[in-house]
């Protein structure tokens, strides 16, 4: 059981690398025709890009199915992928893009840095030229800027928009 939880946690962490690689080379590559719906403004709640949930869901389901009798490492890999999917949904779709209005704005430095990095990613609407392809890992430059903003907010000062691209 402990080893299984370790495999699940390791899979969750590894999924950030998988997500980064998929986002940079697949979504902004040959699957751009689906992902571009995520980089354009629209009024509906669903995007063609949401089909990628089905891909990861199917992958997790297969790991669950083939790792269930008896429960082995594949089950825990499926659990790690699922856990990452839940985190992705809550952080990316709910918190950052506000597709569901569950959370308000946060003064947490990590969440602010994460949001800033994602906004920089979306500042380029085309297939090329984007940066910040991860979901949970944030480059240190965003932490620095987010920390400055939070400190200024706590001091009661208004903070002008900071250019994020360097």
Which tokens sit at 14? 């590894």
Is the residue at 161 inside a domain?
no
Mean pLDDT by 10 residues, the chain (166 residues): 94 94 90 82 76 90 94 96 92 74 73 83 76 82 86 69 55
Number of domains in the chain: 1
Residue with tokens 């990316």: 92
Cβ–Cβ < 8 Å for 132, 121 = yes
Is the residue at 22 inside a domain?
yes
Is the residue at 163 inside a domain?
no
Q: Burial-class residue 19 by CB neighbours within 10 Å (0-12, 13-18, 19+).
A: buried
Q: Can you give the pTM of this predicted structure? A: 0.79
Say how far apart CA 83 and CA 75 lie, in whole Å.
Answer: 12
Check residue 114 and give its pLDDT: 83
Sign of the CA dihedral running 64, 67, 71, 75: negative
Check residue 163 and give its pLDDT: 57
Is the residue at 136 inside a domain?
yes
Is the residue at 165 inside a domain?
no
Is the residue at 91 inside a domain?
yes
Strand, helix or coil for residue 73:
helix
Which tokens sit at 58? 């199917």
Is the residue at 106 inside a domain?
yes
Full residue range of the structural domain in which residue 55 is found = 2-154
Check residue 158 and give its pLDDT: 55
| Region of residue 41 (phi > 0: left; psi between -120 and 50: alpha; otherwise: beta) | beta
Give the pLDDT confidence of 1-13 residue by residue, as tens digits.
899 999 999 999 9
Residues in the chain: 166
Check residue 17 and give its pLDDT: 94
Is the residue at 159 inside a domain?
no
Check residue 124 and give its pLDDT: 74
Check residue 14 and give its pLDDT: 97
User: In the Cβ-directed half-sphere of 153, how many Cα atoms lie within 13 Å?
Assistant: 13
94-103 own/partner pairs: CB under 8 Å, 24+ apart: 99/45
């Amino acid at each position: 059981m402990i080893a299984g939880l370790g495999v699940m946690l390791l899979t969750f962490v590894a999924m950030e690398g998988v997500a980064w690689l998929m986002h940079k080379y697949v979504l902004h590559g040959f699957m751009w025709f689906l992902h571009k719906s995520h980089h354009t403004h629209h009024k509906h709640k669903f995007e063609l890009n949401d089909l990628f949930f089905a891909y990861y869901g199917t992958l997790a389901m297969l790991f669950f199915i083939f790792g269930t009798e008896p429960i082995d490492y594949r089950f825990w890999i499926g659990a790690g992928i699922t856990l990452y999917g839940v985190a992705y949904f809550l952080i990316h779709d709910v918190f950052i893009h506000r597709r569901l209005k569950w959370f308000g704005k946060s003064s947490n430095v990590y969440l602010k840095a994460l949001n800033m990095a994602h906004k920089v990613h979306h500042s380029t609407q085309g297939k090329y030229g984007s940066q910040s392809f991860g979901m949970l890992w944030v480059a240190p430059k965003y932490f620095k800027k987010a920390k400055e903003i939070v400190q200024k907010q706590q001091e009661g000062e208004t903070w002008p928009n900071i250019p994020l691209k360097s």
